[in-house]
Structure 1
Amino acid sequence: MEKAQEWFNYGIELAKEFGPKLVTAILIFIIGSWVIKKMIGSAGRIMAKGKYDESLQKFLLNLVNWTLKIFLIILVISRLGIDVTTFAAVIAAAGLAVGLALQGSLSNFAGGVLIMIFRPYKIGDFIEAQGVVGSVKEIEIFTTKLITPGNKLAIIPNGALANGNIINYTAEGMMRVDLTIGIGYDEDIKQAKEVLLQVLVSNPKVLQDPAPSVNVSQLGESSVDFAVRPYCAPEEYWNVYFETLENCKLALDKAGIEIPYPHSVEIQKKA
């Protein structure tokens, strides 16, 4: 009983000494988290009104959010009576060890910063990078998220993007659709060219500046091949691609121009 009484008294003393600090630290954490949330929300609304780029908004807000949370944690720890300088030294040592272990993550962070500075792409752009093609959904601190044409989510490290080749199909505001359509050798080349060009000119989704073009690109084994090149807005690429194929076939059929196809000839041997 005496031992239990001693432990009880000891617990009371600890509660008196550290209880107020613990309660204060908890209150600081709760209030600080609420304040940070409100600050980030206000900053986001200000950026939205200022028409900042969406990708830059998210990147900066994430960076500020994590920075403020780190300061809040340090403040809470100092309120508990832990020596912040000693804690900072421990954090620095741990940070060095973690940094060496996570060099890839640090390079991804640096890559994210470079992407924000040089802006090779932004949210909504259609790009090709690291063997992946898709629309940029989000640019985060360490990664960039793409939505592929097959509606799949691709997550690419920013370090690889910052140091690799990037093809931005949206940057110039237009894309060229590359199609090859062949006609028979006995057909009139000039007539076929006029028919194909009329298909492009009559499509409202095809841009007229730069002008679409139809040119002989190859004399194949069984066909004269035309390079059919319409330009369009990036978001209309696949619509123009499929519509041009269909309309060219219909127009050539209507003009009586043959599109050759492979013929198989069966040779029968008499016994």
Structure 2
Amino acid sequence: MNDILSPESYTYLLNLIIEYAPRIILGFIFLIVGNSAIKKVINILEKFLSSKNIDKSLVPFFRSLLSMTLQVALIISVLSMIGVEMTSFLAILGAAGLAVGLALKDTLQNFAAGVMILFFKPFKVGDFIEYEGTQGTVKEIQIFNSILTTIDNKRVIIPNGILQTSIVTNFSSENTRRIIWTFSIAYGDDFEKAKTILFKWIKNDKRILKDKEPLVVISELADSSVNIMVRVWVKSEDFLEVKFDYNEKVYSEFPKNGLSIPFPQLDVNINK
């Protein structure tokens, strides 16, 4: 190195190492300790928010936001400790931030959308929603994305900006839902008998709300069947259970009562 550097350069480099090495080591230690402290602060905040009567949707959002803020503050503190001139650094950071902001406008849009979702609450943590054919329970609303868990336990991550500007169906927003069935019987079968059986089931089913009148009518005279439309109201949490139960009951009980369940068929007549 002596052959490459002049004595003055060597002395200058040595002085730099002597001056900045302790700062860099101290900054590195501070960075490790700071990260550990941030994790503890985040855990304390999460436990505090979870223990209070606070919307569950806000917990992961505030956790992510506070974590990001503290990480930025930690990095600035470490740079200042090392000896970086903060006035110039912040000016450069501001200019870089503008450029990054333009480059990451979609990310910023997702952040703004996350705030809007938390404020206006089109859905919240625990709701069952559908977006473009994907159905799932909302597990987290983070600062950039929302996380769903599907019925078959798949994890779906959707950017908040897309959810904010798209049509989202929330199946959990209302306390009650209406079930609509279409059951078919054959031409010549006794509709009144089918109607009586259905009303009897509805009357004896505690899951079906009695303050809203059920409906059992012939909705269509189809090519191969007489279609019966049934409408009832249930609590949202009972929707699927009741819907599937009546499908099974009709399939098993109608034939026992002389009511056939037809299927499409074609009669071919040959004239000789």
Same fold at TM > 0.5: yes
**Which residues of 2 match residues 52-71 of structure 1 at below 5 A?**
52-71=54-73
What are the ranges of 5 or more consecutive residues in structure 1 without an aligned counterpart?
none
Equivalent position of 2:228 in the other structure: 226
On the 8 A contact 1:199/1:247 being kept in 2, the answer is no
| Aligned partner of 1:31 among 30, 33, 36 | 33
Deviation at 1:10, TM superposition (A): 5.3
TM alignment of 1:76-91, pairs within 5 A: 76-91=78-93
Q: Which moved more, 1:204-213 or 1:151-160?
A: 204-213
Structure 1 residue 41 displacement after superposition: 1.0
What does residue 142 of structure 1 align with? Answer: 144
Which residue identity does 1:46 align to in structure 2?
A: F
Cα separation, 1, equivalents of 2:132 and 2:261: 38
C-alpha distance in 2 between matches for 1:115 and 1:164: 12
Aligned equivalents of 1:209, 1:9: Cα separation in 2: 91
Q: 1:34 aligns to what SS in structure 2?
A: helix
Q: 1:9 deviation in Å? A: 5.5
Q: Structure 1 counterpart of 2:131, which letter?
A: A
1:130 and 1:89 map into 2 onto residues whose CA distance is 44
SS at match of 1:178: strand
Q: Contact conserved, 1:196 with 1:251, CA < 8 A, in 2?
A: no
Instruction: Give the corresponding residue for 1:151.
Output: 153
Q: Deviations over 1:55-101 (max 9, x none)?
A: 21111111011011101101111111111121112222112112112
1:74 to 68, 73, 76: 76
Following superposition of structure 1 onto structure 2, how do residues 171-186 of structure 1 map, counting pairs within 5 Å? 171-186=173-188
2:256 pairs with one of 254, 257, 260: 254
Distance 1:45 1:191, change over 3 A: same
CA distance 1:178–1:151, shift in 2 (3 Å): farther
Alignment size in residue pairs? 270
Deviations 1:152-172 (A, max 9, x none): 333222112112222211111
Alignment partners' CA distance in 2, 1:178 and 1:267: 37
TM-score, reference length from structure 2: 0.88
Q: Return the TM-score normalized by structure 1.
A: 0.88
Tell me the CA shift for residue 215 of structure 1.
2.5
How many angstroms apart in 1 are the aligned matches of 2:154 and 2:37?
37
The answer to whether the 8 Å contact 2:2/2:10 transfers is: no
Q: Which moved more, 1:168-177 or 1:144-153?
A: 144-153
Q: Which amino acid aligns with 1:145?
A: I
Q: Which AA in structure 2 matches 1:47?
A: L
CA deviation after TM superposition for structure 1 residue 225, in Å: 1.5
Retained in 1: the 8 A contact 2:174–2:236? no
Aligned to 2:128: 126
- Superposed CA RMSD: 2.5
Structure 1 residue 8 displacement after superposition: 7.0
Q: Map Cα deviations across residues 29-62 of structure 1 (whole Å, 9 max, x no partner).
A: 1222122111111111111110312221111111
Distance in 2 (alpha carbons) for counterparts of 1:100 and 1:2: 48
| 1:161 paired residue number | 163
Per the TM alignment, residue 257 of structure 1 is displaced from its structure 2 partner at its CA by 1.8
> Residues 55 and 123 of structure 1 are in contact (CA less than 8 Å); yes or no, is this contact kept in structure 2?
yes
How far the C-alpha of 1:149 sits from its partner, in A, is 3.3
